[in-house]
């Protein structure tokens, strides 16, 4: 089969490793000589149990997840976690939110349906181009948790330092930096990530939760399927789980292990981001939008300052096989997402096209 692949800079659903897609294609008609696709086998079979067990173990190995944390595979994606976190964790009905973009703002709004969700800091005055100084934030002593979004997909910012919250559990949305570099899990009470950014197919989130935070006395009338305890007690098999998503995530975990794990991912991701930021920093046409100290490794945002020129750039890039460079609809401009599966070569091709576009533009201006 001769297929032309493009360099896909989408923020999500996003690029997956080609090796993983090929393997899945090979196994499509018959998984492990079963004569059936993974989508066709019961989730109550040893064949599927092995898939989910290995996926969990490989994730534990990659992230060095301590034994007192559970790994949960939860259908529903990111927005459902905006609700599950407060429903399950707001014991006293209070939580502190650090607002660094649309996703933490929406999470805070959703939490206010269940209790008192306080926005204790916000980068909105700077149009979310910076992360507030975490050492300047004071938290409520009786907050049940402090919530933040570690990497801000839309604005291209990342927390390079975590707030000290003492005994208050720190909760983080890691959707767009999931497995992009090593992370100290023990610093958090709960981590969750929608897998469609850097891990697998859309429709599922992975939750990593410290055992003492899994409670039965959750918000009244919380549906069974929205209790973390339901997933923890059943090994994420209370009802039919998203089997194919778990299977592909498992393959991505193996791909990451084969490719040197998270320290190696960090090294490559830093090299990719540096290539693009270095070019942007000296460009006379393009301007990076995130504050230098808060830059994301995964989502690089930039503009020309002229919305029509931005549109022209995105269109011409697309013709060159560099696709999905349009910024989020709420901010405009451009965004290049450089997830694990984006090869260094892809970023090189992007930078080389940007140089060409810049030269052509400057020439046209001088005529
Ligand atoms: C995409 C994204 C979300 C929303 O995920 P859905 O699965 O579409 O609900 C939440 N948080 C972050 C950081 C994201 O990048």
Question: How do residues 112-129 score in pLDDT, each as one tens digit?
Answer: 999 999 999 999 999 999
Q: In the chain, pLDDT over 90 holds for what percent of residues?
A: 96
Q: Is the predicted pLDDT of residue 307 greater than 70, yes or no?
A: yes
Tell me the pLDDT tens digit for each residue of 43-89.
999 999 999 999 999 999 999 999 999 999 999 999 999 999 999 99
229 pLDDT higher than 80: yes
pLDDT of residue 280: 98
Q: Is the pLDDT of residue 310 over 70?
A: yes
Measure 339 CA to ligand 1 centroid, in angstroms: 15
Q: What is the dihedral of CA 243, 246, 251, 253, to 10 degrees?
A: -170
Average pLDDT value for residue range 304-322 = 97
CATH 3.90.1150.10 domain residues, the chain: 261-366
Question: In ligand 1, which atom is closest to the CA atom of 106?
Answer: 10
Q: Where in the chain is the domain with CATH 3.40.640.10?
A: 18-258
Whole-angstrom distance, CA of residue 55 vs CA of residue 200: 12
What's the pLDDT at 329? 87
- Which residues sit with their C-beta closer than 6 Å to ligand 1? 12, 77-79, 103, 149, 153, 173, 175-176, 194, 197
- CB burial of 246-276 (b: ≥16 within 10 Å; e: otherwise) equals bbbbbbbbbbbeeeebbeebeebbeebbebb
| Alpha carbon distance 190, 265 (integer Å) | 23
Q: Which residues are catalytic?
A: 103, 173, 197
**pTM, entire model:** 0.97
Q: Which CATH class is domain 261-366?
A: alpha beta
Could you report the per-residue pLDDT of 327-345, keeping only the tens digit for each? 998 888 999 999 999 999 9
Q: Write down the mean pLDDT value for the chain.
A: 97
Q: Is the pLDDT of residue 41 over 80?
A: yes
**CATH, domain range 18-258:** 3.40.640.10
Beta-carbon-side half-sphere exposure of residue 45 (alpha carbons within 13 Å): 13
pLDDT of the residue at 173: 98
Task: State the distance from the centre of ligand 1 to the C-alpha of 267, rounded, in angstroms.
Answer: 25
Q: Where are the alpha helices (DSSP H) in the chain?
A: 18-26, 46-63, 77-89, 102-111, 228-234, 243-258, 261-282, 307-319, 344-366
CB 114 within 8 A of CB 219: yes
Which pLDDT score, from 0 to 100, does residue 363 have? 87
**Distance (Å, whole) CA 271 – CA 257:** 19
Q: What percent of the chain has pLDDT over 70?
A: 100
- Ligand 1, residues 157, 171, 197, 199: which to mutate, most atoms within 8 A of Cβ? 197
Among residues 32, 36, 76, the alpha carbon closest in space to that of 245 is found at 76
Which atom of ligand 1 has the smallest separation from the CA of 174?
13
Q: Which residue from 275, 271, 276 is spatially nearest to 335, judged by alpha carbons?
A: 276
Residue 191 has pLDDT above 80, yes or no: yes
Asked whether the CA dihedral 117, 118, 124, 130 is positive or negative, the reply is: negative
The pLDDT confidence band at residue 162, using thresholds 50, 70 and 90, is very high
* Cα 329 to middle of ligand 1, angstroms: 14
What residue's CA is closest to ligand 1, atom 12? 175
């Amino acid at each position: 089969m001769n297929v032309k692949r493009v360099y896909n800079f989408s923020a999500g659903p996003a690029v997956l490793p080609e090796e993983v897609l090929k393997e899945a294609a090979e196994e499509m008609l018959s998984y492990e000589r079963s004569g059936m696709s993974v989508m066709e086998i019961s989730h109550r079979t040893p064949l599927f149990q092995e898939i989910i067990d290995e996926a969990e173990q490989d994730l534990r190995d990659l992230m060095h997840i301590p034994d007192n944390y559970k790994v949960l595979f939860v259908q529903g994606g990111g927005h459902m976690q905006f609700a599950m976190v407060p429903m399950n964790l707001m014991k006293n009905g209070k939580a502190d939110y650090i607002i660094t973009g649309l996703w933490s703002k929406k999470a805070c709004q959703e939490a206010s349906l269940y209790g008192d969700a306080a926005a204790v800091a916000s980068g909105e005055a700077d149009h979310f181009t910076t992360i507030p100084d975490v050492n300047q934030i004071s938290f409520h002593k009786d907050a049940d948790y402090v919530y933040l979004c570690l990497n801000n997909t839309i604005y291209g910012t990342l927390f390079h330092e975590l707030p000290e919250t003492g005994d208050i559990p720190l909760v983080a949305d890691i959707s767009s930096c999931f497995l992009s570099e090593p992370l100290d899990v023990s610093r958090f009470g709960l981590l969750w990530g929608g897998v469609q950014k850097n891990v697998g197919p859309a429709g599922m989130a992975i939750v990593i939760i410290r055992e003492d935070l899994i409670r039965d006395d959750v918000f009244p009338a919380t549906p069974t399927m929205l209790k973390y305890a339901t997933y923890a007690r059943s090994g994420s098999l209370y009802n039919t789980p998203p089997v194919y998503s778990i299977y592909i995530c498992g393959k991505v975990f193996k791909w990451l292990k084969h490719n040197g794990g998270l320290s190696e991912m960090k090294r490559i991701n830093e090299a990719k981001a540096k290539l693009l930021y270095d070019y942007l920093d000296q460009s006379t046409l393009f301007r990076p939008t995130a504050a230098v100290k808060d830059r994301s490794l995964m989502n690089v945002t930039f503009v020309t300052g002229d919305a029509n020129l931005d549109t022209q750039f995105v269109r011409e890039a697309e013709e060159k096989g560099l696709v999905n460079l349009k910024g989020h609809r709420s901010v405009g401009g451009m965004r290049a997402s450089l997830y694990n599966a984006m090869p260094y070569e892809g970023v090189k091709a992007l930078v080389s096209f940007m140089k060409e576009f810049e030269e052509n533009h400057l020439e046209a201006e001088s005529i």
